[in-house]
Amino acid sequence: MRDSHIRSKATYHKAIKELQRLGYLRYSPSYHPRKGSQITMIIENTTNEQPDATE
């Protein structure tokens, strides 16, 4: 939360839910105090180009 400059836990969770709803990330909360939640960013190829198979 410190790096995001969000001070409130409620605001943080609201932002995470909104980003998940919009399809930008996948959020798997952890309810264990010593394990972190898992966030996966979903990055889509927005160009019409196919990835170069030679690289």
User: pLDDT tens digit string along 17-46?
Assistant: 999 999 999 999 899 989 999 999 998 877
Residue 8, classified by CB atoms within 10 Å of its CB into exposed (0-12), middle (13-18) or buried (19+), is: exposed
**pLDDT computed for residue 16 by the predictor:** 92
Domain boundaries, position 21: 9-41
pLDDT confidence tier of residue 53, bands split at 50, 70 and 90: low
pLDDT at 9 over 70: yes
pLDDT at 2 over 90: no
Structural domains of the chain, count: 1
Q: Is residue 48 part of a domain?
A: no
Own/partner contacts of 39-44, CB < 8 Å, gap of 24 or more, are none
Q: Is residue 55 part of a domain?
A: no
- pTM reported for the whole predicted model: 0.64
Q: Is residue 47 part of a domain?
A: no
Q: Is residue 3 part of a domain?
A: no
